[in-house]
């Protein structure tokens, strides 16, 4: 379920230049097929999370996946870029149920450290999707055309909804569910953001994902148009960064199992983000070509794998009774930051790696500063003497 978003985005990456050509639009307009999906995905999470707190995890999940499968078919049959964009919006609405409910189910059943460990495992599994999705997308593009990519996503949705309906139990019993309609929705989000310890970890995930999605959104144009990489080879480069993400998640899981705290991982992970950001600026401006762009991004994605699960677990830990709402808030803000970063990086920078590197270093610095502020504040709270 957590791979739904990655599959929906990454399978279509090799087709971005093709979509621009077929529909006779600019590269930034073609990139909107990624951004509008993410914006819809982010907005839908706000409602999806609350609904899963109010009526249970399973019905929300099943309905969302049915909508996802149906809209995937509509995307494949789109006759124009305008229709495709509209269908991608609906697909984003349906896709929101998968990761929101998955994170909420983890929080329903696990404390912070175990939640961070399981989220690391989920992120490692999620990283498999970017490793295979661009390759699968490029094969479908070569063997058929861009329509086949969205047909494949529709089939994947049918498989997921079948498995979810048959195999997943309900983890949010009726006695723990929220009441209150729209008022309850607003109250839940207000409580989440007003609870100490939630905001800074959320902002860490936003900055981290903004740098990550700047790469996801702009890398087809930087690598294919800028560095002259073929669509088939692009899939391997993209798979390399996904592998780095998976290794970072596995490393975080091992560190948590060895007794390291999520806060310690937050510092290590954001330090790697900062190192990757510095290296990509040096590499792209120092004339090191493709290696100067790609190798630093491997470092950055190692940091993403360490940072994201722990930051998410720390943000959700103070509000166990609002697991769905908390999951929605984290995911929505994260995806909004990513959609904005991806679109603006492509629109302003196009195939140039220089603007891209500026975005990555800015987001890395932001994540690093926010993470150290969050962990320092938490440490001072634990060690300060009681009043009086």
For the chain, the distance separating the N- and C-terminal CA atoms, rounded to the nearest angstrom, is 50
Look at domain 3-380 and name its CATH class.
mainly alpha
Residue among 214, 219, 258 at smallest CA distance from 120: 258
pTM metric for this prediction: 0.72
Residue among 41, 67, 38, 238 at smallest CA distance from 138: 238
Residue 274 to residue 371: CA distance in whole angstroms: 12
Residue 118 to residue 249: CA distance in whole angstroms: 10
DSSP 84-108: HHHHHHHHHHHHTHHHHHHHHHHHH
What is the greatest pairwise CA distance in the chain? Answer: 73
Residue 362 to residue 372: CA distance in whole angstroms: 16
Q: What is the dihedral of CA 99, 103, 108, 109, to 10 degrees?
A: 120
Which residue's structure tokens are 């269908």?
A: 87
Q: φ and ψ at 30, to 5 degrees? A: -60, -35
Segments in the chain forming alpha helices (H): 3-10, 16-22, 27-55, 57-76, 81-95, 97-109, 112-143, 146-167, 181-194, 199-219, 231-257, 262-285, 289-316, 323-349, 353-383
C-alpha to C-alpha distances, 245 to 114, 212, 216, nearest whole angstrom = 20, 10, 13
Structure confidence by residue, pLDDT tens digits, 46-93:
888 888 888 888 899 999 999 999 999 999 999 999 999 999 999 999
In this structure, what token pair is assigned to residue 82? 């305008």
Q: What is the DSSP letter of 227?
A: S
- Cβ atoms < 10 Å from Cβ of 254: 12
Q: Where are the domains of the chain?
A: 3-380
pLDDT in tens, the chain (388 residues): 888 877 888 888 888 888 888 898 888 788 888 888 978 887 888 888 888 888 888 899 999 999 999 999 999 999 999 999 999 999 999 998 888 888 888 878 777 778 877 887 777 777 777 678 878 888 898 888 899 999 999 999 999 999 988 888 888 878 777 776 667 777 888 888 888 888 899 999 999 989 998 888 788 888 888 888 887 788 788 888 988 988 998 898 889 888 888 889 999 999 999 999 999 999 999 888 899 999 999 999 999 999 988 888 888 888 877 777 787 788 778 877 887 888 788 878 777 888 889 999 999 999 999 998 988 765 554 444 444 4
Residue 156 to residue 171: CA distance in whole angstroms: 24
Residue 322 to residue 194: CA distance in whole angstroms: 13
Q: How many CA atoms, within 13 angstroms, populate the side-chain half-sphere of residue 152?
A: 21
pLDDT of residue 296: 95
Residue 116 to residue 378: CA distance in whole angstroms: 17
């Amino acid at each position: 379920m957590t791979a739904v978003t990655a599959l929906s985005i990454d399978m279509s990456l090799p087709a971005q230049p093709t979509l621009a050509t077929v529909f006779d639009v600019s590269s930034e307009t073609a990139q909107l097929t990624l951004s509008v999906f993410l914006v819809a995905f982010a907005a839908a999470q706000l409602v999806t999370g609350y609904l899963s707190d109010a009526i249970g995890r399973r019905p929300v999940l099943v309905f969302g996946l049915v909508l996802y499968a149906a809209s995937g078919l509509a995307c494949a049959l789109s006759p124009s870029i305008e229709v495709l964009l509209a269908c991608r919006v609906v697909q984003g609405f349906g896709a929101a149920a998968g990761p929101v409910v998955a994170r909420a189910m983890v929080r329903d059943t696990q404390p912070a450290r175990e939640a961070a460990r399981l989220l690391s495992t989920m992120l490692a599994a999620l990283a498999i999707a970017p490793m295979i999705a661009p390759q699968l997308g490029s094969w479908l593009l070569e063997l058929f055309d861009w329509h086949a990519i969205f047909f494949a996503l529709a089939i994947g949705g049918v498989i997921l909804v079948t498995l979810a309906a048959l195999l997943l139990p309900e983890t949010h019993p009726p006695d723990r569910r929220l009441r209150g309609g729209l008022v309850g929705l607003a109250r839940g989000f207000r409580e989440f953001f007003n609870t100490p310890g939630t905001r800074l970890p959320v902002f860490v995930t936003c900055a981290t994902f903004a740098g990550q999605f700047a790469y996801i959104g702009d890398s087809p144009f930087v690598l294919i148009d800028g560095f002259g990489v073929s669509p088939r080879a692009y899939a391997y480069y993209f798979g390399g960064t996904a592998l780095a993400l998976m290794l970072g998640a596995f490393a975080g899981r091992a560190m948590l199992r060895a007794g390291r705290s999520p806060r310690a991982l937050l510092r290590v992970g954001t330090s790697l983000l900062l190192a990757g950001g510095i290296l990509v600026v040096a590499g792209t401006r120092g004339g090191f070509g493709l290696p100067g762009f790609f190798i630093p991004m491997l470092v950055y994605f190692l940091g993403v794998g360490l940072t994201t699960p722990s930051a998410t677990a720390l943000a959700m830990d103070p509000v166990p009774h609002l697991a769905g709402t908390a999951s929605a808030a984290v995911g929505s803000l994260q995806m909004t930051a990513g959609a904005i970063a991806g679109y603006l990086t492509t629109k302003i920078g196009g195939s140039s790696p220089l603007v891209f590197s500026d975005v990555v270093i800015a987001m890395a610095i932001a994540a690093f500063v926010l993470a150290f502020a969050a962990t320092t504040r938490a440490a001072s709270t634990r060690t300060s003497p009681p009043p009086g």
